[in-house]
Chain A
Amino acid sequence: MEIASAPPVSPRAVRGALVALGVGILLLAVGWYQGLFVAPPEHYMGEVQRIMYVHVPTAWNAMLALSFAFLSALAFLWKNDWRWDARLEAAVEMGVLLSFLLCVQGAIWAKPTWGVWWDWDPRLTTTAVMLVAFVGILALRHLVDDPRKRAVWSSVATVISYASVPIVYFSVRWWNSLHQVQSTPQTVDSAMVTPLRINAFGMLFVLIAFVTLRSQIARRRLAAELAPPPAASTALAAGGER
C-alpha cells in the first residue's frame, strides 16, 4: 500500500489554533465566573454542585476527542494520509488527558456527595476502562519506531477500542448502577444551563486549539522520521571537508 509523503506544517492552522485558544480562554473565564458567582447553588448538594460546570463539559469534550480519534483512525485506514495519523495522535492524547481529568473531578465531587471517592457505577467504570484502553494505545505508539507501522497499528487499536466502549457501558450498567441519569435542559434551571453551555464551548475551543497544535507537532516529527536518509555520495562529498 503506497502512502503519500509527510505533510508540511501549516502556519495557517497554527494561527487558527491560537485564535481558537484565545476565544476558548475568554469563554471559560466568563463561564467559570458565572458558574462560581452567578448561578444559584443546587438545592440538595449546595456549593459542591458547582463542579458540574467543569465536570460535564470535560465529559462531553473527552467523548468528542475520542470520537475524533476514532474518525481519524478510520480516515487513516481509508485514505492512507499522514495528516490523519497526526490528528489521531493529537486526539488520543487529548482524550486521555480529559478522561483522566474527568475521573479526578468525579472523585472530588463523589467524596462529599456519595461519601466515597469511587463507585462501580456504569459511567465511572466505563470512563476508567476507556482511559486505560487509550493509554494502551499511547503506549503502543511509543513502542513502535517505524512510523508506517505505528500509524496503521494505532489506527486498528483505536477502531477496536472505540467499538468496545458502548458494549463496556451496557455491560457495566447491567452489572451495577448508581450515577444519576442524564439531565436535560428541561430539568435544569436556565441560570445553571447558561454557564454550563458557555463552559462547554470554551473547552471545545481549547480542545480544538490543542488538537490542532499537537497534530502540527506530530507532523513536524513525521517529516523528520520520513525524510530520506542522506545519500552515501553526498555524505562522502561532504565528508571531505572535515
Chain B
Amino acid sequence: MRAVAAAFYKDLLLGWRGRAQGMAVAVFGATLLLLLSFAVGPNAQMLRQLGGGFLWVALLFSSTLALTESFRLERENRAIEGMLLLGVHPAAIFYGKALANWLQLFVLGLLLLPVMVVLYDPSLDGIGGVIGVLALGTAGLSAPGTLHAGLSSQTRAQQVLLPLLLFPLVVPVLIAAVRATSLLLLGDPMGQARSWALLLLAFDGVFWPLCGLLFGHVIEE
C-alpha cells in the first residue's frame, strides 16, 4: 500500500514538473473540440446535441498523448527496472501509475468541460453529474490505458500501437460515458444516466483488477 502511494506521488510529481507538456495536451484537446464542430457546421441545435460525444472523443484522443508521455521517462531512464530492483511489486507500480494517470485525465476532462460549455452551449443543470461521469469514465480509460501504454512504449511504432490496442477495448467506456453525459446535459426524463454510470462502474470493476494482475508480465525483463 505504501509502495502504491509512493509510486502515485512520484508520478504526480513528474506530471507537475512536466506541466508544460500537460498543458499542451489540454490545448490539443481544446483544439479538437473546436475542430470537431467544423464537421457539423454552425448549427447550434445539433452542436448542443453532439457536445457530450465530442467531449469524450477529444478526451480519448488526448488521453493517448498523456498515457504515452507517462511511460516515456520511465523508458528513457529505465526507471521501472530500478523500481523492480528495489523490490517494488509490479502491481504497486501499476496502481500508482494508473491512479496518477486517472487523476491527470480527470483534470484534463475538467479543463475541457468549460471549453465544451462555451463552444456548444449545453444546459448546466446536470453539470455535477457530468463531473461524476468524467471521474468514472477517465478511470475506465486509465487502467487499460496504463497497461497498453506500458506495453506499446517498449515497441516500435508506439504512437500507432497504443490507440490501435486501446480504442477497441474502451468502446464500452466511450458509449456509456457519451450516453450518460448527453443525457445529463440534454435532460434525462427516464433516469437512464444512472444505468450508464453503473456500466462504467462495472467496466472499472473488471479492468482495474485484471490490468493490475497482468501488468507484471508486461514490464518484466
Q: How far is the CA of A140 from the CA of B147 in the complex (A)?
A: 14
Q: A77 an interface residue at 8 Å Cβ cutoff?
A: yes
Report chain B residues within 8 Å CB of A77. Answer: 214, 217
Q: Which chain B residue lies CB-closest to A150?
A: B155
Q: B155–A175 contact, CB under 8 A?
A: no
* Inter-subunit contact A136/B202 (CB<8 Å): no
Looking at the complex, which one of B161, B171, B202, B217 makes contact with A156 (CB distance below 8 Å)? B217
Contact of B218 among A136, A156, A167, A172 (CB under 8 A): A156
Q: How far is the CA of A228 from the CA of B203 in the complex (A)?
A: 44
Bitwise interface map of A from 158 to 190 toward B, beta carbon under 8 Å scored 1, else 0: 011101100110111011000000000000000
User: In the complex the two chains form, what is the Cα distance from A26 to B202 in whole Å?
Assistant: 46
Min Cβ gap B212→A in Å is 12
Q: State the interface size on chain B (CB cutoff 8 A).
A: 34
> Majority SS of interface residues in chain B?
helix
Is A36 at the interface (CB under 8 A from chain B)? no
Residue of A nearest to B215 (CB): A156
The answer to whether A167 and B155 have CB atoms under 8 Å apart is no
Residues of B within 8 Å of A136, CB to CB, are: 161, 164-165, 168
- Report whether A168 and B217 are in contact in the complex, using a CB–CB cutoff of 8 Å: no
Report whether B164 and A152 are in contact in the complex, using a CB–CB cutoff of 8 Å. no
0/1 string, B145-187, CB within 8 A of A gives 1: 0011001101111001100110111011001100100000000
Q: Which of A130, A160, A175 has the most CB of B within 10 A?
A: A160
Q: Does A20 contact B (CB under 8 A)?
A: no
Are A143 and B168 in touch, CB under 8 angstroms? no
Task: Flag if B147 contacts A156 (CB, 8 Å).
Answer: yes
In the complex, what distance in Å separates the CA atom of A118 from the CA atom of B160? 27
Given contacts A155-B217, A156-B147, contact A144 B176 (CB under 8 A): no
Residue B211 is within 8 A (CB to CB) of chain A in the complex? yes
The answer for the CA separation of A137 and B164 in the assembled complex, in Å, is: 9
Q: Check if B206 is an interface residue, CB within 8 A of chain A.
A: yes
Closest to B211 in A: A160
Q: B201-216: which have CB < 8 Å to A?
A: 202-203, 206-207, 210-211, 214
Residue numbers in A under 8 Å from B167 (CB-CB): 132
**Residue A226 at the B interface, CB < 8 A?**
no
The reply on B76 being an interface residue by CB < 8 A is no
Contact B144 A144 (CB under 8 A): no
What is the CB-to-nearest-CB distance from A110 to chain B, in angstroms, rounded to a whole number?
Answer: 21
